[in-house]
């Protein structure tokens, strides 16, 4: 916010020197961002104003802070309107507000018979000191009052308004508009415009139009003061690439109660400097003036938080100087917050005001600060353990955006699921919240393909979104992707990684509950399996459809993917450790290869072996799957290893043979399995 030293001193009961202004304003949170000596001996000072302090985007607002911090008195501009002699304003014009949600308040005054010409030197000096170009006395006054009081205003030439009336409405799709800077724009139907009886004459809160601007021939002026939705102003300004001092202020919020005062101030100056007659009254379309609210602050809490020992009276003095109307009742100070302070809502906000005006440099800082470090939560430990396990298996973690293109995202929608699209201009290229992290990993795989990288493995823990009708569900998934030169080998390797991760998180007992059941992969997978923990399905793993990989993402290699619910996995943590004595006797290993049909899974084979309950069987381990000669088409050979041990004595082979016979018979009877080589 640029001010001149002469201008801010005009609102103080005694002038301040430049260094005092810089030092004091920096101390209360408005650091100096530049200074410039002006030719007339004045000084321009540029102060940084945070986005929550819209009240200080005005000379009066900054003068209030300076006065409160230095014990000066704020001298607000005196406003006294002349007698209205131009008739009733309601008989001269009308305002129709058809977009109350985007324009809570719109006011209009009428001044007839003005004489447009150059501004007096004192206005020219102040405006040029802060970098504004002077246009004419009427336009310059609207700019002057905006800088003085923080309320943007706009003046229309009434004779250039069709039917001399105002209609506040949404723009028509494709409606044309020429701004006062002579730039042409095509409006969209969500934008707010100020129109007359037939066209848009201003974009609400952003900029006025060329066709209704005040010029040398203007005689009658309609003076606008309004409030516009901050988000809509910002969105419109960015979309049209059209910004102004007015839009800068509307984006940060204006004082609804200050509209009338700013409008009166501008009308007073116009009549003083441009002549004319004021119409009686003001047209107000929209909400009534807002009421002030109260916020309480405990004196003890303020001192405890700041580490100070300030008296309640001292705090009341500081808050009173900021026009917060403090009232003390015991340990509690109740402040009535003026409507121009849009940033004060909580006790801590008032404590910050005390800290700013007491002075941060007056608050003692201890050499040592006690910090209580809480133990890491199991959920955090589990996620780190999971990540470490996957990295140990050769996977690289990715962090990708939650948005994908609609075309790619729809490839991963389940039956009955709808696309969740965002209506944001900045996300036009990728407007869809992803239903799966797989497309994001495939995009990363494509980048690595272009760089010539192979053997790629990625994982990511992130949110996905599912929309069915009006219901939207967000959940966290662990998504893994790996190259699959050999599809079967890659699928087995990913399965092993999942089992290892489950065991690391929940222990051996958790690994024993995991199952992979063949399922229909739909359009997404060529071959797929449901991942289950006990009876609960927690995800799926499979070979991604070649059509999706090649046609959808232009990949030149097959990939395997898995998607598993994160909460189900980390809920196993911490792992259960079952510790037993080390065996003193050796075990006997027996390898077995059986030929089964393609639809028989390793999980089914393992289940039959374990259900046969051989007395001495200690462990069953998968070895490999073989397809090809001499195995018949439609069948496969599955090899696995069994470990037999007697905890009390060394086993003999003749003790194991009957149990092997039992297992082979069970496999033959239940799965029609044939032992290879028999």
> In the structure, what pLDDT confidence band is assigned to residue 647 with cuts at 50, 70 and 90?
confident
| Residue ending a domain, choose from 286, 303, 329 | 286
Is the torsion defined by CA of 225, 229, 232, 234 positive or negative? Answer: positive
CATH number assigned to the domain comprising residue 244: 3.50.40.10
Q: Is 535 annotated as belonging to a binding site?
A: no
Whether residues 476 and 383 fall in one domain: yes
> Where is pLDDT greater, at 251 or 584?
251
pLDDT at 368: 75
Does 430 belong to an annotated binding site? no
Does some domain include residue 583?
Answer: no
Whether 370 is covered by a domain: the verdict is: no
Residues of the chain with pLDDT > 70, as a percent, come to 99
* Closest alpha carbon to 607 in 538, 530, 515: 515
CATH number where 519 lies: 3.30.930.10
Within-domain flag for 580: no
Give me the helix-helix angle, 59-70 and 18-27, nearest 10°: 90
Q: Of 12-26, 234-248, 592-606, where does mean pLDDT reach its minimum? A: 592-606
Helical H segments across 368-429, by residue range? 378-392, 406-410
Is residue 505 helix, strand or coil? helix
Q: What percent of the chain has pLDDT over 90?
A: 86
Asked if residues 55 and 61 have their Cβ atoms less than 8 Å apart, the reply is: yes
CATH number of the domain enclosing 643? 3.30.70.380
92 token code pair: 């001269």
Is 79 part of a structural domain of the chain? no
Tally the domains of the chain. Answer: 5
Secondary structure in 3-state letters for 78-114:
CCCCCCCCCCEHHHHCCEEECCCCCCCEEEEEEEECC
* Same domain assignment for residues 410 and 447: yes
**What order do you get walking across the sheet with 420-421 strand by strand?**
403-404, 432-433, 420-421
Question: How many angstroms separate the Cα of 467 from the Cα of each of 22, 275, 414, 460, 477?
Answer: 55, 63, 10, 22, 16
pLDDT at position 678, please? 60
Say if residue 292 carries a ligand binding annotation: no
Assigned domain for 84 exists: no
The CATH number of whichever domain residue 33 belongs to comes to 3.30.56.10
What would the pLDDT profile of 583-624 be if each residue is shown by its tens digit?
A: 889 999 999 999 999 989 888 899 999 999 888 999 999 899
For residue 193, list its beta bridge partners: 169, 203
pLDDT mean across residues, the chain: 94
Q: How far, in Å, CA of 532 to CA of 535, rounded?
A: 6
Residue 426 in this model has a pLDDT that exceeds 70: no
Minimal CA–CA distance to 250: which of 452, 459, 141, 106?
A: 106
**Neighbour tally for 65: CB within 10 Å:** 23
Residue with tokens 């497309």: 439
Of 334, 360, 386, the position where a domain reaches its end is 360
| pLDDT tens readout for residues 331-359 | 999 999 999 999 999 999 999 999 999 99
**Does residue 564 lie within any of the structural domains?**
yes
Tens digit of pLDDT for each residue in 352-401?
A: 999 999 999 888 877 777 788 888 889 999 999 999 999 999 999 999 99
Is residue 660 a part of any domain in this protein? yes
Confidence of residue 63 (pLDDT cuts 50, 70, 90): very high
Query: Lowest mean pLDDT: which of 202-206, 242-246, 618-622?
Result: 618-622
> Is 245 labelled as part of a ligand binding site?
no
The pLDDT of 403-409, averaged and rounded, is 94
Which tokens belong to 235?
Answer: 């969105």
620 in the same domain as 519: no
Per-residue three-class SS string for 196-241: CCCCEEEECCCEEEHHHECCCCCCCEEEEEEECCHHHHHHHHHHHC
**pLDDT interval class at 425 (50, 70, 90):** low
Q: Do 602 and 489 lie in a common domain?
A: no
Residue 150 has pLDDT above 70, yes or no: yes
Same domain, 620 and 497: no
- pLDDT at residue 30 tops 90: yes
The reply to whether 541 and 455 lie within a common domain is yes
Residues 513 and 602 in one domain: no
In the predicted model, is pLDDT for residue 657 greater than 90? yes
Q: Do 445 and 538 belong together in one domain?
A: yes
Across 213-227, average pLDDT: 97
Examine residue 577 and state whether it is found in any structural domain, yes or no: no
What is the structure's pLDDT at 487?
Answer: 93
Q: How far apart are CA 58 and CA 64, in angstroms?
A: 10
Last residue of a domain, one of 237, 253, 286: 286
pLDDT of residue 495: 93
Let me know: does 391 contact 397? Beta carbons within 8 Å.
Answer: yes
Give Cβ neighbours of residue 376 (< 8 Å, ≥ 6 apart).
Answer: none
333 and 408: one domain? Answer: no
Sequence-ordered list of residues with C-beta below 8 angstroms from that of 240, at least 6 positions apart, any chain: 185, 187, 191, 203, 206
Give the number of C-alpha atoms closer than 13 A to the C-alpha of residue 224, restricted to the C-beta side: 36
Residue 56's closest CA among 353, 334, 422? Answer: 353
Q: Could you tell me if 95 and 44 lie in one domain?
A: no
Is the pLDDT at 581 greater than 90? The verdict is no
Query: Are 25 and 140 within one domain?
Result: no
Give the structural domain span for 59.
Answer: 2-70
Tokens 């069948």 -> residue: 635
Domain co-membership, 512 together with 649: no
């Amino acid at each position: 916010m640029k001010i001149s030293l002469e201008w801010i001193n005009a609102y103080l009961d005694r002038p301040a020197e430049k260094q005092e202004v810089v030092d004091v304003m920096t101390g209360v949170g408005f650091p100096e961002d530049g200074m410039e000596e002006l030719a007339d001996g004045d000084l321009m000072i540029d102060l940084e104003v945070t986005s929550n302090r819209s009240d200080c985007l005005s000379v009066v607002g900054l003068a209030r802070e300076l006065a409160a911090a230095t014990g000066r008195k704020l001298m607000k501009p005196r406003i006294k309107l002349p007698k209205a002699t131009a008739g009733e304003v309601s008989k001269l014009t009308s305002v129709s507000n058809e977009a109350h949600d985007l324009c809570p308040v719109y006011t209009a005054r009428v001044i007839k018979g003005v004489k447009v010409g150059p501004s007096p030197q004192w206005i020219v000096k102040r405006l040029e000191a802060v970098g504004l170009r002077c246009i004419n006395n009427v336009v310059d006054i609207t700019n002057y009052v905006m800088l003085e009081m923080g309320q943007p205003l706009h003046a229309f030439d009434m004779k250039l308004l069709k039917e001399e009336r105002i209609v506040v409405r949404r723009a028509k799709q494709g409606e044309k508009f020429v701004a006062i800077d002579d730039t042409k724009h095509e409006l969209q139907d969500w934008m707010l415009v100020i129109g007359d009886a037939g066209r848009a004459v201003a974009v609400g809160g952003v900029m006025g139009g060329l066709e209704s601007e005040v010029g040398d021939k203007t005689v009658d002026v309609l003076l606008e003061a309004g409030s516009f939705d901050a988000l809509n102003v910002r969105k419109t300004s960015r979309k049209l690439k059209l910004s102004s001092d007015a839009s800068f202020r509307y984006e940060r919020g204006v004082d609804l109660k200050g509209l009338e005062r700013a409008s009166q101030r501008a009308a007073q100056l116009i009549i003083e400097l441009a002549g004319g007659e004021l119409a009686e009254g003001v047209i107000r379309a929209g909400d009534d003036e807002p009421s002030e609210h109260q916020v309480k602050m405990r004196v003890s809490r303020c001192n405890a938080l700041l580490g100070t020992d300030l008296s309640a009276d001292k705090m009341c003095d500081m808050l009173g100087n900021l026009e917060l109307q403090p009232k003390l009742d015991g340990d509690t100070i109740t402040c009535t917050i003026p409507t121009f302070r849009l940033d004060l809502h909580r006790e801590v906000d008032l404590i910050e005001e005390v800290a700013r005006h007491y002075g941060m440099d007056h608050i003692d800082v201890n050499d040592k600060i006690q910090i209580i470090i809480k133990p890491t939560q199991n959920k955090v430990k589990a996620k780190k353990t999971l990540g470490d396990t996957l990295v140990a298996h050769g996977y690289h973690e990715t962090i990708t955006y939650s948005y994908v293109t609609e075309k790619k995202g729809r490839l991963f929608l389940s039956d009955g699921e709808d696309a969740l699209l965002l209506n944001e201009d900045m996300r036009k290229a990728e407007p869809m919240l992803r239903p799966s992290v797989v497309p994001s990993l495939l995009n990363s795989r494509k980048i690595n393909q272009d760089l010539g990288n192979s053997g790629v493995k990625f994982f990511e823990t992130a949110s996905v979104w599912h929309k069915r009708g009006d219901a939207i569900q967000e959940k966290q998934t662990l998504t893994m992707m790996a190259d699959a030169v050999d599809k079967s080998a890659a699928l087995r390797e990913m399965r092993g990684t999942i089992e290892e991760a489950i065991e690391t998180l929940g222990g051996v007992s958790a690994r024993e509950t995991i199952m992979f059941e063949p399922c229909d992969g739909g359009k997404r997978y060529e071959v797929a399996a449901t991942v289950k923990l006990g009876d609960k399905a927690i995800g799926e793993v499979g070979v991604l459809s070649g059509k999706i990989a090649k046609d959808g993402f232009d990949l030149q290699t097959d990939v395997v993917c898995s998607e598993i619910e994160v909460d189900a996995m980390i809920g196993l943590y911490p792992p259960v450790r079952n510790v037993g004595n080390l065996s003193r006797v050796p075990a006997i290993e027996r390898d077995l290869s059986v030929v089964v049909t393609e639809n028989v899974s390793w999980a089914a084979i393992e289940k039959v072996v374990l259900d046969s309950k051989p007395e001495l069987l200690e462990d069953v381990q998968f070895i490999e799957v073989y397809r090809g000669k001499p195995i018949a088409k439609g069948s496969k050979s599955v090899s696995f290893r069994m470990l037999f041990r007697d905890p009390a004595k060394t086993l003999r082979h003749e003790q194991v043979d009957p149990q092997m016979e039992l297992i082979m018979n069970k496999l033959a009877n239940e799965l029609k399995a044939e032992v290879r080589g028999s």
